[in-house]
Structure 1
Amino acid sequence: MSLAITSLNSGSNGNCYYIGNEHEAVLVDAGISCRETETRMRRLGLSMRKVKAIFVSHEHSDHIKGIPVLARKYKLPVYITPDTLYRSRMDLSGVEVLSFTGYEPVQVGGLSVTGFPKFHDAADPHSFVVEGNGVRIGVFTDIGAPCDHVIRHFEQCHAAFLETNYDDGMLEQSYYPYYLKRRISGNHGHLSNKQALELFVAHKPAFMSHVFLSHLSKDNNCPKHVKSLFDVCADGTEVVVASRFEETAVYHISNQGSVFERTLSVADITPTGEQLSLF
C-alpha cells in the first residue's frame, strides 16, 4: 500500500502539491491556474475527479490564486483557517469553505490531513502532514525557521516536500533591496539551503525514502547546486528537485520504500526568536 505524490509546481510563481491513495486525493495549495493544474494532472495520468479537497497553507498569492476557479469547477471543499481566509480576500462564493485547527486531523476518505503552525510572515500559516495506507507525507515550505512543530513532524515522514528557497551567498550578492533580503532570510521568511540541510541531516528518519527540494528561488538558488548538497548527505534517501516550471513525476511512496511511476518530457505573527504555541 502506498500514496501517490507529485509537485505540480513549486516556486514563487505558484505552488501546488498532490497527495492521494487509490481512491481519493487532496491538493495542498493551488497557486497555479485551473487550466494549468488540469494540464499537468493530465500529463501525469492523474484525474481531477479523484481530488476531494484543497488545503490552504497561507494567503500569499502563489499558494491560492488558482483556488476559486478550481474549487467551483470541481465542487471541492476548501480547508482554510478563518484568519487566512480573511487575509486572502478570495471570492469563494459558491464554494464549501471549511475551517481546520492545528493538530486536529481532518479525514478525507482514507486520507488524514493534519495542519500545524509554523514561522512565516502570514496571518495564520500552517504546514501539513497527509497520512494514509500507513504512509506519512509532509509539506514543509514557506518556513522562516524550523520550529519544534516542523521538526517533530519531519521526523515522522516517509517523504517530504522541504523548502530550500535560497543560497546564502547568492542572496547576499543579489540585486534584491536590503529590506527584501532581510524578509527572506528572517525568522518569518524562507528556509535557506543551509537551514534545510541541517534539518535534513539532524532529523531525517531512516525510513524517509524521498525528499523533494521545494520552493527554490529563481534568482537566489541553483537546482544543481542544492541537489548536490543533499545528495552527499542523503544516506539512501532519493533527492528530487521540485521545479518551478513543470510538474515532477508521480512517485508511489510506501512504508517499505517507494516506486518511481513515470518520467516526464518536458497578520499576527509570532515575534522573532519565540517558539510557536501548540495551538
Structure 2
Amino acid sequence: MPVYIASLNSGSNGNCYYVGNEHEAVLVDVGISCREIEKRMLRLGLSIQKVKAIFISHEHTDHIRGLPVLAKKYQLPVYVTDGTVHHCGEVPRELCFSLRSYESVKIGELEVMPFPKHHDAVEPHSFMITNGETRIGVFTDIGVPCEHLIRHFAQCHAAFLEANYDEQMLANGRYPYFLKKRISGGKGHLSNKQALDMFIEHKPAYMSHVLLAHLSKDNNDPELALQMFTPHAGSTHVSVASRFFESEVFVIDPQPLAPGESHTLNQVTGQFQFALS
C-alpha cells in the first residue's frame, strides 16, 4: 500500500507534516493554525477526516501553536511525552496519550515509533512512521546526527530531514553570539553540511524522496541547500519544504518504477498518477 506524505509548513514560523495511507493519516506537529491546516490540506486534495492522531515532537511554539484548536475541533488523540504535555496549552487531557521512546503506537495500518533526539527541549523526539514495508522519517530540530537518527535514517524510503542553516551564513550573519551558539551547539539544529554528510554516508539505495526541512529564513537559502544535495542525490528526489506554503503530495511506494518515473498528485483532479521526472 502506498504512503502519501506532504509538508504543510516547515520552518521557525510553524511546522506540520502529513503522513498517511488510503484510509488513515497522522500529523507530526501542529505549528500552524487549524484554519491553515484545513486550507492547505484541501488544496492538496487531502481529507482531514483521514487524520486519526497528532504526534508532538517537542514543546516549542513553532510545533504546537495550532494544537489546542485542531485537537478539540476534530477530537483527535494527541501523543505527547509526559514532560511535554504541560507546555501544550489548553488541550483536553482526555485527548492526551503518553508517548515514550521506542514504544510504538498503532494508528490503523500506520505504526509510529518515537525515538529521542538532541534538542534544547524537555523530552524531544523524532519519528519513524511505518506502513507495511514503507518507512517514513520525520527528522527535524536535531542538534547532532546521533546514533538513533543515523540508524533510522538508514532504513527510510522517504524522510523529512532538517537542513536548517548554512554554516558560513550563520557565522557571518546578524544573530547575536549566544543565538549562533544555541543553533550550532549540539542541541539546536542541523546544518546543511551535517545533513548532507548523513545523506551521503547513510542514505539507503532505495530511498526515493527527501524533503529538506526547517530551513532558516536568515541563515539559509533553498537554492543553496538544493545545490549542495543535487550532485549526490542519485535516484533520490530532493526538494525543499517551504516555510510559506504546502509542498506537493508525494506518493511513496517501495514497488520498483521504470527509470525516471515517479508518483505525483494531480492537484486539479486530486488523483494520484505516474509522472516522468
Structure 2: unaligned runs, 5 residues or longer: 257-261, 269-277
8 Å contact kept, 1:71–1:95: no
CA distance in 2, matches of 1:141, 1:95: 28
Structure 1: unaligned runs, 5 residues or longer: 265-279
CA distance in 1, matches of 2:113, 2:244: 28
TM-score by length of 2: 0.93
Instruction: Specify the alignment match of 2:123 in structure 1.
Output: 124
Amino acid at match of 1:143: I
CA drift of 1:170 comes to 0.4
1:262 aligned onto 2:261: no
Instruction: Specify the alignment match of 1:217 in structure 2.
Output: 216
CA drift of 1:93 comes to 2.3
CA drift of 1:255 comes to 1.0
8 Å contact kept, 2:32–2:62: yes
Amino acid at match of 1:129: M
CA drift of 1:133 comes to 3.1
Cα 1:6–1:89, aligned 2, differ >3 Å: closer, same or farther? Answer: closer
- Structure 1 runs (4+) deviating above 3 angstroms are none
SS of match in other structure, 1:208? coil
1:103 aligned onto 2:107: no
Instruction: Specify the alignment match of 1:186 in structure 2.
Output: 185
1:192-240 CA-partner distances (Å, limit 9, x unpaired): 0000000000000000000000000000000001001101111210001
SS of match in other structure, 2:62? helix
Instruction: Specify the alignment match of 2:45 in structure 1.
Output: 45
8 Å contact kept, 1:72–1:95: no
TM-score by length of 1: 0.92
Instruction: Specify the alignment match of 2:34 in structure 1.
Output: 34
CA drift of 1:185 comes to 0.5
SS of match in other structure, 1:196? helix
Q: How does 1:47-196 map to 2 (within 5 A)?
A: 47-86=47-86, 88-93=87-92, 95-196=94-195
CA distance in 1, matches of 2:88, 2:103: 25
Percent identity of equivalent pairs = 61
Amino acid at match of 1:70: L
Number of corresponding residues: 263
CA distance in 1, matches of 2:88, 2:208: 38
1:1-38 CA-partner distances (Å, limit 9, x unpaired): 21000000000000000000000000000000000000
CA distance in 1, matches of 2:218, 2:197: 22
CA distance in 2, matches of 1:180, 1:9: 23
CA distance in 1, matches of 2:207, 2:266: 20
8 Å contact kept, 1:75–1:95: no
Using CA pairs below 8 Å that are at least 6 residues apart, which structure has the higher relative contact order?
1
CA drift of 1:94 comes to 6.2
1:110-149 CA-partner distances (Å, limit 9, x unpaired): 1000000000000000000110032000000000000000
CA drift of 1:262 comes to 3.4
CA drift of 1:100 comes to 1.6
CA distance in 1, matches of 2:223, 2:48: 32
